[in-house]
Amino acid sequence: MIGVIADDVTGATDVAAALRRAGLRTLLVLGTDTAEASVAGPSIAESAAAADGIVIGLKTRSLPADEAVAQSLAALAALRAQGADRIYVKYCSTFDSTADGNIGPITEAVADALGADLVVTTPAAPLHGRTVYRGHLFVGDVLLAETHMRDHPVTPMRDSSVPRLLTAQSARPVGMLPLDVVQRGADAVREAMDGARAAGILQLIADAVTDADLDVIADAVEAEPLVAGSAGLVGALALRETVAGEPAPAPPLGRTAIIAGSCSRRTLEQIDSFQAAGLPAYRVAAEPDDSAEDLAARALEWWDRQPSDASALLYSSSPASERRDDVPGAGELYERTAGLVAAALADRGVTRMLIAGGETSGEVIRSLGTTAAVVGEEVAPGAPWIHDEKRGVHLVLKSGNFGDEDLFVDVARQGSSS
């Protein structure tokens, strides 16, 4: 069984989608308390018995390194207790991290716990336009440091060199697996891995520009106890698993609530498209003295005035030019508001929700009390429906940059189609 430790909620759904796409029955666990988390009544242990893969989604991307490591090791223990014999440390395909971590420290700690002497790692995910060439990470045709990630408020990425980024946050040597070696095939990769081990390298960064490159790497590392990277490489590994081949479950039709907190360019485009289609949308906008409860109450009053079968969008997303600097802690305020709104909508009987943004998604699942979910079909690559059977809701937890411009419109209309 494949067990995955993911550093945030939307990243966890991305990798869960990759496993489900390969045919694996996949369980998504949000947190490490496997004794209490449940799916439709049975314990996680009983649910895990029917799973081909388990993904644990944490919120460790920007924590202090020691806290991130502790939570990741707890997740490792939980996965091993449920029978996972192959572990994957999943991080973002844009290598989101601080100067001190947490990708390097987490991978080193998990390697120590498993007794692994080499970890092949790559953020490459060609499906999402992320590629690595000569150690440099590209987003589409643009170097990482030249994208919007350069000015990310929490994890600004000012360098495109994965070896430099990883070396700065790692205690042990980092090496490179060049593209020309990868393209010579799995035997050449295994030979390079043996050389890296002999040189004392722990983390070996692999170039990859196509899915075929990831397939070669997956062949080479198939027997390794620990691999790391984005959802790209684990998807290639999943294709080598024996699976039941059951179709991914789909949610029932019904009214959909779309809650957007991401300020990424793609989410803003999706909001514009939704409004251009004439569908109902409400902007959550705070004044300096507003509380989350105030904002949620106004949003819910608006929701309650909409037709009872109408899907609708509630959003706090805005471009940088429109953000106010006189609302203290605006980001946390809007996240808390999103959680309150989602919980209230679930209480009103709304069973379909699409949440845009990693921090927003984390607050929503916390407010809903979602601890585990069955992974279903995707609405966009890396954005699957997940079914929290205990709470009775179907959720899409979408990274801000995922999906095409019409995603919100399509999900809303699909929910109400006959």
Encode pLDDT of 386-407 as tens digits.
998 888 899 999 988 899 999 9
Q: How high is the pLDDT of residue 364?
A: 94
Q: Rounded mean pLDDT of the chain?
A: 90
Residues 292 and 365 in one domain: yes
Segment (H or E) for 68: helix 65-81
173, 203, 238 — which closes off a domain? 238
What average pLDDT does range 268-286 have in this prediction? Answer: 96
148 belongs to a structural domain: yes
Residues 221 and 289 in one domain: no
What average pLDDT does range 88-101 have in this prediction? Answer: 91
Residues 274 and 175 in one domain: no
| 162-171, 271-280, 312-321: least confidently modelled range | 312-321
Residues 205 and 313 in one domain: no
Residues 77 and 224 in one domain: yes
Residues 232 and 269 in one domain: no
251 belongs to a structural domain: no
Tell me the C-alpha distance between 128 and 126, whole Å. 5
83 belongs to a structural domain: yes
Closest CA to 30 of 19, 18, 16, 41: 16
208, 238, 268 — which closes off a domain? 238
Q: 374 pLDDT band (50/70/90 cuts)?
A: confident
Residues 37 and 88 in one domain: yes
Q: How high is the pLDDT of residue 418?
A: 41
Burial code (b: 16+ CB inside 10 Å, e: under 16) for 79-104 equals beebebebbbbbbbbbbbbbeebbbb
What average pLDDT does range 19-45 have in this prediction? Answer: 68
Bridge partners (DSSP) listed for residue 30: 57
180, 207, 238 — which closes off a domain? 238
Task: Determine the structural domain holding residue 326 and report its residue range.
Answer: 256-416
372 belongs to a structural domain: yes
What average pLDDT does range 168-182 have in this prediction? Answer: 97
Number of domains into which the chain is organized: 2
Domain containing 260 — which CATH number? 3.40.980.20
212 belongs to a structural domain: yes
Query: Quick check: 104 pLDDT over 90?
Result: yes
Residues 208 and 260 in one domain: no
Residues 119 and 225 in one domain: yes
Tell me the C-alpha distance between 249 and 171, whole Å. 43
Domain containing 174 — which CATH number? 3.40.50.10840
Residues 261 and 234 in one domain: no
280 sits in the region (left: phi over 0; alpha: psi -120 to 50; else beta) called beta
Residues 323 and 356 in one domain: yes
Q: How high is the pLDDT of residue 152?
A: 76
- The structure's pTM equals 0.84
Residues 123 and 209 in one domain: yes
